[in-house]
Amino acid sequence: MTQYLGIIGYPLGHSISPVFQQAALDHHGLDICYQAWETPPEELPAAVDALRQPDRLGMNVTVPHKEAVLPYLDRTDDAATAIRAVNTVVKEDGRLVGYNTDCSGFLRALREDAGVKPEGLKVLVLGAGGAARAVLYGLVANKAGFVGVASRNGKRVRIMVESMMGVAKEYDARITMGEWRREGMAAILPWYDLVVNTTPMGMLHGEAEHQSPLDGVAIPSKLFVYDLVYNPTETPLLRQAREAGCRTLGGLPMLVYQGAAAFQLWTEREAPVDVMFAAARNALRE
């Protein structure tokens, strides 16, 4: 019997997860089909419940459901509980278990692809959604020296930062927060070492496809700019940073690494990362 995995989110026109996950499943000769299950917010409860069907093994979760999915799961692992966001669901003995592989994917890409260690860095995180939660947790738990979080949604960023204060205290890290303002951003950017964009600004087919979160702001050339958006490969933010002389990293490595971690949770097989990267790059070229 063919079994099924999938990804839920809304919209899903930008997602290449079905392409590289299917390539990994086919590499191992598994009779499993990975699909895109576009899920508007009002259909989230039904989408999670459908995962309890016998032929479904699990799913990925993307914008805007990473936080909203929590109440519909049977439990979450320690990292997902601390982050309060889930991007991978695994059916284990009939129970739906939530994991967060965004955090490990973010850190692996930062270390292996960018050659940047988070320890001691001054980092500015843009955004306050589920991806921002994973990034903030990963930075704090890996001893970043100082993490600032900026978002246009002051309430969301305050709730996110306050929920991480216990982790920050445990790892002796400092966190601050503020609402995003262009004038203020220009003044504080020179103080940071690394900027991480976790917002969907610049994402293909998104509402802000042609925008950068730092539009109109001078970016110091000493900054490393990491944009979690992977499609297009060069977002408006990355182009702006490149033209300013900054080192940059796009979101594709994080996407593949978090997907590889999810693959291993679902299948208990070693993820063929090279196969996944090749499939993902081909999909982005099409």
Q: Rounded CA gap, 123 and 181, in Å?
A: 17
Is 66 known to be catalytic?
yes
Both structure tokens of 181: 């303002």
> Please, what's the b/e burial string for 50-78 (b: 16 or more CB within 10 A of its CB; e: otherwise)?
bbeeeebbbbbbbbbbbbbbbebbeebbe
**Three-state secondary structure of the chain:** CCEEEEEEECCCCCCCHHHHHHHHHHHCCCCEEEEEEECCHHHHHHHHHHCCCCCEEEEEECCCCCCCCHHHCCEECHHHHHHCCCCEEEEECCEEEEECCHHHHHHHHHHHHCCCCCCCCEEEEECCCHHHHHHHHHHHHCCCCEEEEEECCHHHHHHHHHHHHHHHHHCCCEEEEEECCHHHHHHHHHHCCEEEECCCCCCCCCCCCCCCCCCCCCCCCCCEEEECCCCCCCCHHHHHHHHCCCEEECCHHHHHHHHHHHHHHHHCCCCCHHHHHHHHHHHHHC
Choice among 66, 91, 143, 222 that is catalytic? 66
- Catalytic residues, by residue number, are 66
